[in-house]
């Protein structure tokens, strides 16, 4: 029996404050692309369990994270908090909590 894909959830803003936020972003992007997790993992060059761990907020290596992001057409921007305040909309501004 063929499995059906879930629909993407609420869009996640560009600021990630936890691995769970990052996992939500990756899951939503995969679902927007209408990819099953095993197909997405294969296309990104990582194992399905790595992809699943990422989507569920678990830790994965930076090398694998970059493969997944690139494979899904995403990128990561690392900048200072001060610069982030100047480039993000007010609704996504850092509130002082954990990154």
User: Which position has the token pair 């992809």?
Assistant: 51
Enter the tokens of residue 14. 């560009």
pLDDT tens digit sequence for 44-87: 999 999 999 999 999 999 999 999 999 999 999 888 888 887 87
pLDDT of residue 48: 97
Q: What structural domains and CATH numbers belong to the chain? A: 19-91 (1.10.260.40)
Q: Name the pTM for this structure.
A: 0.77
Fill in the DSSP letter of residue 10: S
Compare 81 and 95 and report the one with higher pLDDT: 81
Q: Give dist(CA 28, CA 16) in Å, integer.
A: 14
User: Which position has the token pair 């990104």?
Assistant: 44
Compare 49 and 8 and report the one with higher pLDDT: 49
Give the Cα-Cα-Cα angle 69, 79, 81 (nearest 5 degrees): 125
pLDDT of residue 89: 67
């Amino acid at each position: 029996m063929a499995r059906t894909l879930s629909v993407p959830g609420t869009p996640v803003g560009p600021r990630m404050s936890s691995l769970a936020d990052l996992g939500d972003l990756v899951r939503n992007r995969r679902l927007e692309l209408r990819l099953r997790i095993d197909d997405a993992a294969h296309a990104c060059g990582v194992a399905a369990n790595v992809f699943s761990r990422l989507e569920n907020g678990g830790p994965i290596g930076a090398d694998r994270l970059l493969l997944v992001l690139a494979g899904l057409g995403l990128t990561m921007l690392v900048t200072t908090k001060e610069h982030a305040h100047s480039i993000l909309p007010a609704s996504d501004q850092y509130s002082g909590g954990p990154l």
